[in-house]
Structures are given as structure tokens and as C-alpha cells.
Amino acid sequence: MLSDYIYQKQKMLLEQQTDFYTSTGLHVFFKDPIENVDVEKVISKVESVVPMHLLSEVEMIIIGWFDEFEERKLNAFYKDGTLYVSNIQDDENDMYDDLIHEIAHSIESALGYEIYGDQKIKDEFLRKRKYLYDLLLSKGYRAPLSVFTNTEYDKEFDMFLYQKIGYDKLSDLMMGLFITPYAATSLREYYATGFTEFFLDSNHNFFRKVSPELYKKLLLIQDPEKLDNIA
Ligand SMILES: [Zn+2]
């Protein structure tokens, strides 16, 4: 039987994938089997690219399928010291992106003051939102301005962007305004997509031009000495 075959194959995969500790003390745990990805390789790349002090909040990484992924259309999320990441991944880069993105969220409360305290990335984000509002209005897409000036995640805004306008069209419209359409979702996602871009691509020219304040902020966050000087 096919389902039996799949079950056996999954079981075999899971047996091959044993939980492990990394050199920086992350505990990696397999809830469900994962294909196409050498998890140890991906995590060791993360540890070599992201500075140690930015990994300090994550204690555990659990790989598997979680209801939250379905409910919130996510591939990964961070909660209370644990990074949950989907076992359904296209390839290693796909998983690498997810991990870096969630690491960005993991430090948001510990470094809340350093990231958000001076309001600089908030101001930059809101300027871009206002520009987007005008741009969309000029193309005939209308939504209340109050939705654009809310920095929190807002379902109404999300639906407006991704369902009414659509991701492809947004990508074109937002070129040079946001590094990805997802960055427009909320202030927290603005920051997290910037963090991801910063550590994903060592060429920062485009990012620096599009989001100069966010870029400056990441230069600061990645440097433990500079961080110490603000507190
Ligand atoms: Zn996020």
C-alpha cells in the first residue's frame, strides 16, 4: 500500500535524523522527517554568518509541521526561546532564509530598545507606507490612510495588499521602495526582512539605498561593541 510505503519511508528518514547539539549550544530537534535538506549544514551556515550575540535568545530549533503554519500561512515562527521551522522546504536556501528571519524576531524583545527605541526605523517605515498609499491611490487602489499608518500587523491591510493587488503587481510597484513586498506588512516585518537581507546577501548596496535607516540599525546590532555603548 502506498500510505504504508510513505509511512515506512518517513519512519526511516526520521530514524536517520537524530537530534543534535550545535557548537554554540543550540538544541536541534526533529519532530517530523525532512527531505532535500542537510539540516546540520544549514544550521552550521547560520551559526557562521550570524554573530553569536544575536543567537543568544534561541535555545531550541524544532523541525516539523505545526498547526500555526496552516492557520497563519507561515513556514516558521519563534516563540519563547524556540524556533519552529517547517520540514517542507524547497531546498537548503529556503530553510536558511526561514531561520535567519526568525532569529531576527527572536532578539526583538531583548534588543527592543536598541532596535526601536530611537524611532528611526519606524519613521522610515511610515514614510514608505505613506508613499505607498499615494502610489496605490494614483493607480486607483484605495484603502483608508489609517490602515497605512498602523505599524502593527493588520489583517485588513494584508488582505488589501496580497489579495486585492497581488504579490506580483506589488513587487513591481514597490521596486526601490521596500526590499520585498513582505517588508510592507508591519514594522516588525520591515525590520525582520531587513535583518534577513543583511545576513543573506553580503552585497548591501541595494539594501542600503532602499532602507538607509534600517541598514544603519543592522550595522549597529551586528556589532556587540557598538551595542554595549548605547545601553
Ligand atoms: Zn516575520
- In tens, the pLDDT along 213-222 reads 999 999 999 9
What is the distance in A from the centroid of ligand 1 to the CA of 1? 40
Q: 63 pairs with which residues across the strands?
A: 30, 85
pLDDT, tens digit, 9 for 90 and up, residues 93-114: 999 999 999 999 999 999 999 9
User: Over the stretch 33-54, which tens digit does the pLDDT of each residue have?
Assistant: 998 899 999 999 999 999 999 9
6: how many CB neighbours lie within 10 A of its CB? 10
Q: How far, in Å, from the CA of 192 to the mean position of ligand 1? A: 6
Distance 84 CA to ligand 1 centre (A): 12
For residue 33, give the C-alpha cell.
Answer: 522527517
pLDDT band for position 231 (cuts 50, 70, 90): low
Residue recorded with cell 521602495: 177
Which helix (DSSP H) or strand (DSSP E) does residue 166 occupy?
A: none
User: How many A from CA of 105 to the centre of ligand 1?
Assistant: 7
**Nearest Cα residue to 188 out of 77, 81, 80:** 77
Distance 69 CA to ligand 1 centre (A): 12
66 with 87: CB under 8 angstroms? no
Yes or no: say if 49 and 59 are a contact pair by the CB < 8 Å rule.
Answer: no
Please state the pTM of the whole predicted model: 0.91
Residue spans of alpha helices (H) in the chain: 2-16, 39-49, 67-72, 92-106, 112-116, 120-138, 145-148, 155-159, 167-174, 187-200, 205-210, 212-221, 224-230
